[in-house]
Structure 1
Amino acid sequence: MATDNAHIKALGDIGVSIWLDDLSRSLISSGDLKKLIETKDVVGVTTNPTIFAKALSDGTAYTDQVEELAKAGSSVDEAVFSITTTDVQHACDVMRPVYDATDGKDGRVSIEVDPRLAGKTQETTDMAKKLWAQVDRPNVMIKIPATVEGLPAITAATAEGISVNVTLIFSLDRYRGVMSAFLAGLEQAKESGKDLSTIRSVASFFVSRVDSEVDKRIDAIGSAQAKALRGQAGVANARLAYQAYEEVFSTPRWKTLEDAGAHTQRPLWASTGVKDKAYSDTMYVVDLAVDNTVNTMPPATLDALADHGEPKGDQVTSNYDEASKALDGLERIGISYADVVQVLETEGVDKFEKSWAELLDSVQSELDKAGQGALAGEAK
């Protein structure tokens, strides 16, 4: 974890951990993931249903396992569970030296609860426990969506000693609910005698999707006043999230947990690939650089940072007033923050459900092919 790249080193010096928003079996088996650790200071990995659906559609890396699962008579849900947890296990093993070197802060690999359960608290909690047990690595993180129904599941999983990556956070109010749910889980873990120092958590605050939704509404308004606000909402929202983080993790409630060995729930900037080519392709990295955060980057964003990104120190804590003014400006031109974040949460869950359906279809197709191949072999 000592890159020669000046841009990446500058980001690390600010206190930002780089996690890769990508995973496939070939990335692991080729040694490319290990290489990214060594050359680009990648110290974590995040996955989601879209990433797994893409990985399954590429090449033949999963053929042997699918054939074995077909022979065993596995259902498509069982097969997907086995395939995804196998990848995460192997990625955790590659990341283990980072986990050990950072005392568990980094070296993490995240795997998501089935997104079809986003509206079901108990089922989400049960699946989180199942994934935690199946991967069986101390450096795995279980991703739970920040839906209303997901909040009690965050508490329950944390109380069990499970390290949670809370995903799909868009609104500041919901983010405060996420932090409260995490603290409640730590309090329950403390009461039951668990070692709080082993529990880690991140809160994944989505960035570029906010700009995509807001900019669409700005363009529909079309006025010069509106257009002056393009490309500001995502960064402003995330900066105010960090302000909320600083507030919550300086309270007496937190201090009691910290004294018992607990670690803060770090903000993680997700959805950091720039979708509008009018903006700098490193905007969501450079403009959100601040201590004790994670930036999970798709490969293209990581490459852009390495090539020409120029971190300029902490760009967050001195810009809270500016961020508030940007969001206030949207309200003044008729763009409702509350509506934007609700639309984004609904769409976010829906997109992951669709990706999960694609993943199931892809695996079912492979299982069917494997089964037909086995039958043909028996017939000879």
Structure 2
Amino acid sequence: MTGTLERLADEGVAPWLDDLSRERLASGGLSRLVSEQGVVGITSNPTIFDKAIGSGLHYDAQITDLARRGVGVAEAARLLTAYDVRWACDALRDVYEMTHGLDGRVSIEVAPQLAKDTMASLAEARDLWWQVDRPNLFVKIPATREGLGAISAALAEGISVNVTLIFSLDRYAEVISAFLSGMEGAQAAGHDLSSIASVASFFVSRVDTETDNRLDKMGSSQARALRGRAAIANARLAYGQFEQARASDRWRALEAAGMKPQRPLWASTGVKDPAFDDTRYVVELVAPDVVSTMPEATLRAVEEHGEIRGDTIHGTYAESQQILDDLDVAGVSYHDVVTTLEEEGIRKFSDSWRDLFGTLDEELRTAASKSRSA
């Protein structure tokens, strides 16, 4: 591991890859990213698996077997994705051991259709934890109001959780409380707290996309001056909340009992607007004890021309709050933006699941037809 990503890691940022496919696993591409680029974790989602399954030949044999058994689309999707995540967990097991369980994690998510159902989300989290059966798994549970109870309950049972789809500072405060409640439950149940981990995934670029669309419709010089400033300000303030929570008596008591910190994770770090630097959501959010998960294009961009200037979060809190205040004055409601993004995020994830099911249904039908004609 050399260069920019090494400097990023030296600042306390864990570089993760936001991508997973069986082709990457089978070719050794993931192992090379780990050994040569210092990637120490993986996030996945239905869109990533839809692309992988639809374009990769490495799934054909398993899909043929599933078709011969008459396995339904939903169960087939779970079996295929769990297989890949289990393999990735094994590929990152050395990282997991070397970091004492802090990194070397691979994420798989509960179906977003369950995001408004606490008990159904918990039931699927249990099933995914059982199916993958690896200690370095993260089960992704969306940070909806209903998801908070599932997050606490899963942690209390010893299931490590990636809390996903966080946009608002208010919701993040609730996520922190849910995390601490879950760890208190785990402690009461006699679990080893050091074996349980969690990250809180703040979606970054989408905040700018939604905010800037609203600013562009205004067209004023005041609005133009605020373009591209909301997302980084929001994430920096979230880091401030993380620091405040970590200094609380409640957090410290659990940490003394072996609890790992629930690190902020910067997700949605790919830059959508070509007017912006393609590394900004990584290099402008550098501070100790954070995770930055990147699509490969962003990872390569950071390594090739990213400028790591040390800690870019501490000392920015007043300026960041002023940016959000200025947006409100300009007529862009922060509350409305983050509420819209949460609802849109669930909808987009649900659409991705439907796309995955559609792709897999076609693959299963094709495999079944070939088997009958063989």
Question: What's the TM-score bracket when you normalise by the shorter of the two chains?
Answer: over 0.9
Alignment of 1:235-254 (within 5 A): 235-254=232-251
Q: Is the 8 A contact 2:54 2:360 kept in 1?
A: no
Q: Which amino acid aligns with 1:325?
A: Q
Q: Which residue identity lines up with residue 195 of structure 1 in the other structure?
A: D
Q: Helix, strand or coil: the match of 1:11?
A: helix
Alignment of 1:41-56 (within 5 A): 41-56=38-53
Letter paired with 1:228: A
Count of matched residue positions in the alignment of Structure 1 and Structure 2: 374
2: distance between equivalents of 1:85 and 1:376?
30
Q: Contact 2:266–2:293 at 8 Å: present in 1 too? A: yes
2:230 paired residue number: 233
Cα distance in 2 between the residues matched to 1:345 and 1:16: 26
Q: Distance in 1 between matches of 2:176 and 2:343?
A: 21
Distance in 2, Cα, partners of 1:130 & 1:251: 33
Pair 1:21-2:18 in alignment: yes
> Is 1:182 matched up with 2:157?
no
Cα distance between partner residues in 2 of 1:144 and 1:80: 18
Whole-angstrom CA distance in 2 between matches of 1:242 and 1:211: 18
Query: Whole-Å Cα distance in 1 between the matches of residues 56 and 39 of structure 2?
Result: 25
Partner in structure 2 of residue 263 of structure 1? 260
1:313 to 285, 310, 317: 310
2:358 aligned residue (352, 357, 361):
361
Matching of residue 293 in structure 1 with residue 276 in structure 2: no
1:200 matched to 2:197? The reply is yes
**What SS does the corresponding residue of 2:138 show, helix, strand or coil?**
strand
- Displacement of 1:258 in angstroms is 0.9
What are the within-5 Å matches in structure 2 for residues 300-379 of structure 1?
300-377=297-374
Find out whether 1:8 has 2:29 as its counterpart: no
| 1:138 correspondence with 2:173 | no
Following TM superposition, where does structure 1 have runs of at least 4 consecutive aligned residues deviating by more than 2 angstroms? none
Is 2:44 the counterpart of 1:72?
A: no
Give me the whole-angstrom Cα distance separating, in 1, the residues matched to 2:69 and 2:205. Answer: 42
Paired letter, 1:258: E
AA paired with 2:143?
A: A
Equivalent residue letter for 2:357? L
Contact 2:167 2:338 in 1 (8 A): yes
TM-score, length basis structure 2: 0.99
Partner amino acid, structure 1, of 2:258? G
1:59 equivalent among 38, 56, 59: 56
Q: 2:148 aligns with which of 151, 154, 160?
A: 151
Please report how far the alpha carbon of residue 188 of structure 1 lies from its aligned counterpart in structure 2 after TM superposition.
0.6
What is the Cα deviation at residue 8 of structure 1?
1.0
> Could you say which residue in structure 1 is the equivalent of 2:98?
101
Aligned to 1:89: 86
Report the secondary structure of 1:168's partner residue: strand
CA offsets per residue over residues 83-127 of structure 1, 9 Å max, x none? 000000000010001001100010000001011111110000000
Is there any run of 5+ residues in structure 1 with no aligned partner, and where?
Answer: none
Q: What is the distance in 1 between the residues matched to 2:142 and 2:325?
A: 27
Per-residue CA deviation, residues 41-65 of structure 1 (Å, 9 max, x unaligned), is: 1000000111111111113111100
Give 1:374 deviation, angstroms.
Answer: 1.4
1: distance between equivalents of 2:52 and 2:346? 20
8 Å Cα contact 2:236/2:285 also seen in 1: yes
Q: CA offsets per residue over residues 241-284 of structure 1, 9 Å max, x none? A: 00001111110111111111111100000000000011110000
SS at match of 2:293: strand
Q: What's the C-alpha RMSD, in Å, of the aligned pairs?
A: 0.6
Letter in 2 for 1:190: Q
Name structure 2 gaps, 5 residues minimum. Answer: none
SS at match of 2:145: coil
- Alignment-mate amino acid for residue 321 of structure 1: A
For residue 169 of structure 1, the aligned residue among 147, 159, 166 is 166
Amino acid in the other structure paired with 2:33: L
User: For 1:34, what is the secondary structure of its paired residue?
Assistant: helix
**Given the two structures, how large is their TM-score scaled by the length of structure 1?**
0.98
The one-letter amino acid of 2:353's match is W
Secondary structure at the residue paired with 1:248? helix
- How far apart in 2 are the matches of 1:34 and 1:59? 19
Please give the alpha-carbon distance, in whole angstroms, between the structure 1 residues aligned to 2:162 and 2:370: 40
| In 2, Cα distance between equivalents of 1:267 and 1:356 | 26
> Take 2:222 and 2:112, find their aligned partners in 1: how far apart are those partners?
39
Displacement of 1:369 in angstroms is 1.0
